[in-house]
Structure 1
């Protein structure tokens, strides 16, 4: 028993040296493992788990004020095994409990049964009574079911009119008319920003005005003046207190939104914000050997940059800098993305086309790493026009299809293996399911492979089930997935030699078109047929030309880059039933 404990402690000390900054010189924290739960059963102790993040302000406050409190430790000493989990490194555990905030505190009985889940920071004053109450009455707390039952696998391209109207109504009612923003809490929500920008591009004056207000407030209040990093949350409804927490998902959301907004509205403030976030990714978050670091925290404890490198966060950074490249033409951004992708393929690739999270995964592989990498690789194919990246994207997608699809529902499970012996029911994380549906749908357009479209439709069937629609009201990401399934991507193909500057100029203009559901291709006939030769492009003797197409129609040859956007705007892309 002592030997097992020494091994666990050794593993934990190694983990702590690489994970979020936390003091464990006294061995207070144990590691999440089946061995820890087995020990709890033997010793008839509760397991109390703290899920934390490097960049999380209140995680550090709770470590300082609550977990270190002598009276709290006295209660824990004889009846509890405290377990520390860095949620950035263990996505299986993180995504199971993400609705409980960071920090999240989960209490298990000696038999491994969940007893209670606590959201966010608890001071010693409120934490101690919970611990004593758990000892006195370890009955599991019954929490209301967040969603309805998962529906059996079905293929669908969208929501019902009533479902769509309900989501749209919820988003509209969430608008904070006094301070601007969708809700009183000011979070950076990538799907909301994309959806609103897309509505603005399509002529929705109300959402155009709203997204401009939000982006202007974000640019003025949430882009750090020293580093250029984008805060993921503002603590005050009036945008006056940025949290100084900078996870990678916020950088992807913000850089993509500001870059596309600049092309839509031409506001120099949006370009400046995009430049600053890109500078942060390039100068602070890019690792010397390739790839990207994970996050940065500058609030409580000022932990600084988390220099671990995960496939998920590297993929998010790739997608972000490619959105910046597409909008601005900054070649160094494209090269930064290419270098990061090569690093991921060399250092995070698994046999069969997939990706692991870190150098060694304790609970993976995870859907999040693989779907983000597939999305990023497909974006690289778009931004470079090079076919090697489409091949890698297909390999990652095929790995996802073999590894993560639940055949009963069509949804995607978060992890390929259970996160603990007693937690055997797999979870499905909504945002990753949306990303998977959107990625498979776009991949089907690039490749012409109908099996990818079927996977996307089955995934959409899961997203329109009670498990999702009954659990969440704010669903701009589901609206995005539906829009992309119901409408063909804007499709622009440049036919011309790669070494012809006129071809390059046309392709630059195609990339700058700001809709995200976009199929941009560069066909140099010397390279053979396109991956999906669904259009028979005519010969154009006067040099390179671009063609804007749907499944039934192509424009006349476009030879001037300035004319491409108008041709794409004129396409009617609704799919025929």
Structure 2
């Protein structure tokens, strides 16, 4: 091992729009170290590999070394998430990728790679599948769906829960599809149960909160970072599982994660902080630390908090707070969701869209703006404040008009970035489903047409071949071929049923669902006769062409919507 001089580090540059011009002038390659504040192996590589004098010599001579935080740079994350973290990408001066490496790289191996690239700077073949827009046939679409369904089932660890990969965690889209189809599928029922029960191994039993994942194909080898987005995901999943199966442990896990967020990630100004580091001392594994009780942890110090507030992660937490508020009846979570939305709108909105954060606004990402629309629509459903619905409409108009590539997919980011925006499959699935949902919410057919176009791109056989598992595409197909159920509370007098209706609707475990309240001044003309049929408040569930019989109790309403949702899949 080479002798280290830890006081020496690369002359890190920002990876900005001018970096390739600088590389051309200096006849150098560009190296991008894309890490995260919370990432243990990023710390290790920065402490060991990047302080090696031989590495530094090579970097200074032949490279411009750039370092960025992937949490801050959504434009980079959308393209390189599969290679992190840390992700190491090397470019030539024209911006062509020469190398993409995932994870920690030792000094000796890194030196060999750096020398090899200087000697032979050959661009890598692109890993983006080039697909021209085309009208897919029914048979080709069905073939793609069959392939995706097989991949979905083969990805599951039925006995152990989670995926049958080395990393153990629950992915939301996988959970959602299994959740929606488990009623008549014993395999998915078993997988759901084992996943939820075993995921408790990711929970911090002292401070609460959920660690990001475990390795070694079990739930016992933890990576100790805690990300806001991870807390939001598990709060939502645990609440859904609780509501569907009346599992008190699941609700307890959700509340524990929320208490952790309140203690460590709650920004008094209104938003939420981004994450907490995996390490107490950067680069040193914290396994023994996380075995300690609260008092002993405090004595040794607290892992650093990244106090940035990013749009997509905060929007996801807004959703989680609303759902948890409805599941528990604790209105303080809803109040926090309202404050958080106001905070993000004040600090991260720029012109007609939302930037990822307040520090880096050179590019605007699809992911952030999709997340904002979803959170605004859920806030509208929770508060019936039309301002949220209006904001959602403004942003979905921007998404549809600005991010569409005219090649069948949505571009992951726009703006002044050193690299060209391309497609991100996960973001396109989200966009497809949201645009279709918005076509119903806003009665705007063009959003459904765009959603269908994106779906055609996502089910192209050449693209499907590259996927491991994408159950969100299966969910998108079902949603594109039906309409969301809409629950309506008709208020005749006072507020009877209002609280129960909102809590039942907002905690109902489904994305493709809507709820609203009508009074004598807001009832649409086609519902006049129905509204006047009863003297007391009542609930109906409607589609465009149908309304259920009236329901006069919370229990009757919940029995109806749960039976309709989970007995027909």
| TM-score for both structures, normalised by structure 1 | 0.88
Alignment partner of 1:214 is 2:195: yes
1:245 equivalenced with 2:225 (yes/no) = yes
* Alpha-carbon shift at residue 271 of structure 1 (Å): 0.9
List aligned pairs for 1:119-158, cutoff 5 A: 119-142=102-125, 146=127, 148-152=129-133, 154=135
Aligned pairs for 1:344-423 within 5 A:
344-352=344-352, 354-409=353-408, 411-417=409-415, 419-420=417-418, 423=419
User: SS state of the match for residue 99, structure 2?
Assistant: strand
Once the 2 structures are TM-superposed, how far is the Cα of residue 518 of structure 1 from its aligned partner?
Answer: 0.9
Secondary structure of the 2:88 match is strand
Q: Is the 8 A contact 2:228 2:313 kept in 1?
A: yes
CA–CA separation in structure 2 for the residues paired with 1:158 and 1:268:
44
Cα distance in structure 2, aligned partners of 1:574 and 1:441: 23
Alignment equivalent of 2:47, drawn from 56, 60, 64: 64
Distance 2:40 2:416 in 1: 29
SS at match of 2:349: coil
Distance 1:159 1:489 in 2: 26
> 2:157·2:191 contact (CA, 8 Å) conserved in 1?
no
Separation of aligned partners in 2, 1:574 and 1:239? 32
TM-aligned CA deviation for residue 328 of structure 1: 2.3
- Does the 8 Å CA contact 1:328/1:512 hold for their aligned counterparts? no
**Matched residue SS, 2:271:** coil
Corresponding residue for residue 267 of structure 1: 247
Unaligned stretches of 5+ residues in structure 1:
1-22
Tell me: CA distance 1:223–1:118, structure 2 relative to 1, closer, same or farther (3 Å). same
Question: Counterpart in 1 of 2:147?
Answer: 166
Name 1:74's counterpart in structure 2: 57
Q: How big is the shift at 1:155?
A: 8.6
Cα deviation, residue 500, structure 1: 1.0
Q: Which residue of 2 aligns with 1:549?
A: 542
Alpha-carbon distance between aligned partners in 2 of 1:182 and 1:503, rounded to the nearest angstrom:
40
* 1:265-296: CA deviation from partner (whole Å, max 9, x where unpaired): 11211011011112222332221111111122
Superposed CA offset, 1:529-563 (max 9, x none): 46x97896432433110001223321111001101
Residue 290 of structure 2 is matched in structure 1 by none
Change (3 A) 1:275 1:536: farther
SS at match of 1:493: strand
Which of 181, 185, 191 is the matching residue for 1:199? 181
CA displacement at 1:254 relative to structure 2: 0.9
Shift in Å at residue 253 of structure 1?
Answer: 1.6
> Relative to 1, partners in 2 of residues 1:39 and 1:512: Cα closer, same or farther, differing over 3 Å?
closer
> Shift of the alpha carbon at 1:370?
0.8
- The match for 1:475 among 452, 470, 477 is 470
Give SS of 2:376's match: helix
Matched residue pairs, number?
542
- Cα distance in 2 for residues equivalent to 1:543 and 1:178: 50
Q: The residue matched to 1:81 in structure 2 has which SS?
A: strand
Could you list the runs of 5+ residues in structure 2 that have no partner in the other structure?
1-5, 283-302
Matched, 1:559 2:559: no
For 1:109 and 1:246, how far apart are their aligned partners in 2?
35
Which residue number in structure 2 is paired with residue 462 of structure 1? 457
| Residue equivalent to 1:255 | 235
Q: How far apart are residue 498 of structure 1 and its match?
A: 8.6
CA contact (8 A) 1:319 1:376 kept: yes
- Asked if residue 187 in structure 1 is aligned to residue 180 in structure 2, the reply is no
CA separation of 1:287 and 1:25: change in aligned 2, threshold 3 A:
farther
Structure 2 SS opposite 1:521: strand
Q: Which residue of 2 aligns with 1:236?
A: 216
Report what 2:287 is aligned to. Answer: none
8 Å Cα contact 2:9/2:50 also seen in 1: no
The answer on whether the counterparts of 2:160 and 2:195 sit within 8 Å (CA) in structure 1 is no
Instruction: Quote the Cα distance in structure 2 between the aligned partners of 1:158 and 1:315.
Output: 38
Helix, strand or coil at the partner of 1:365: strand
Residue in structure 1 matched with residue 259 of structure 2 by the alignment: 279
Q: In structure 1, the residue corresponding to 2:489 is in which secondary structure?
A: strand
Q: 8 Å contact 2:9–2:56 — kept in the other structure?
A: no
1:452 aligns with 2:447: yes
Tell whether the 8 Å contact from 1:90 to 1:362 is kept in structure 2 after alignment: no
Aligned mates of 2:500, 2:203 — CA distance in 1? 32
Deviations 1:473-510 (A, max 9, x none): 30112112222222322221111169513333233333
1:53 touches 1:103 (CA, 8 Å); kept in 2? yes
Q: 2:20 aligns with which of 24, 33, 37?
A: 37
Measured after TM superposition, the shift of residue 573 of structure 1 is: 11
TM-score, length basis structure 2: 0.89
| Cα separation, 1, equivalents of 2:528 and 2:447 | 19
Which residue in the other structure is 1:15 paired with?
none
CA–CA separation in structure 2 for the residues paired with 1:387 and 1:404 = 25
Aligned equivalents of 2:398, 2:467: Cα separation in 1: 29
CA distance in 2, matches of 1:169, 1:40: 46
Residues in 2 aligned to 1:305 and 1:230: alpha-carbon distance in whole angstroms: 15
Residue aligned with 1:139, SS:
coil
Change (3 A) 1:156 1:289: farther
